[in-house]
Amino acid sequence: MPQNTTQRYTKAVRIKPEMISEYKRLHTDVWPEVTKALMQVGISNYSLFVIGDLAVEYLEYSGGDFEENLAIMENNEAIKRWEAICDKCCLLPITDNPDSGEFWTSMEEIFHLD
């Protein structure tokens, strides 16, 4: 039986308290070109959760090379425009390396049940 090659990724970010409503509003109507770009590189089952000022994203990846596909995403014009808008809502960062310039911080998976 072939092994499932789907990889799971989860990240977290803090949202500026005054931007929480706007951040939620943005994600009630994500641009079709953004969702299409995600699916084209093998990203599926993408979810975004918010509690207070904490946003947590979860996604599954079934492509061949995650780093390569992230680079493709970083060069996608729709993704660049979308992230520029959303990044205005985020605080820097939840990380051990605050000088990284990254908004999102990867989370370690410690349990999974299929």
Q: pTM of the entire structure?
A: 0.82
pLDDT of residue 104: 75
Per-residue pLDDT of the chain (114 residues; tens, 9 = 90+): 344 588 999 999 999 999 999 999 999 999 999 999 999 999 999 999 999 999 999 999 998 888 899 899 989 999 999 999 999 998 866 665 556 556 677 888 888 888
Comparing C-alpha atoms, which of 75, 39, 81, 76 is closest to residue 59? 39
- 98: helix, coil or strand? helix
- 11: helix, coil or strand? strand
pLDDT of residue 105: 77
pLDDT of residue 1: 38
In the chain the domains, ranked by start, together with CATH numbers, are 7-106 (3.30.70.1090)
For residue 113, the surrounding DSSP H or E stretch is none
pLDDT of residue 9: 92
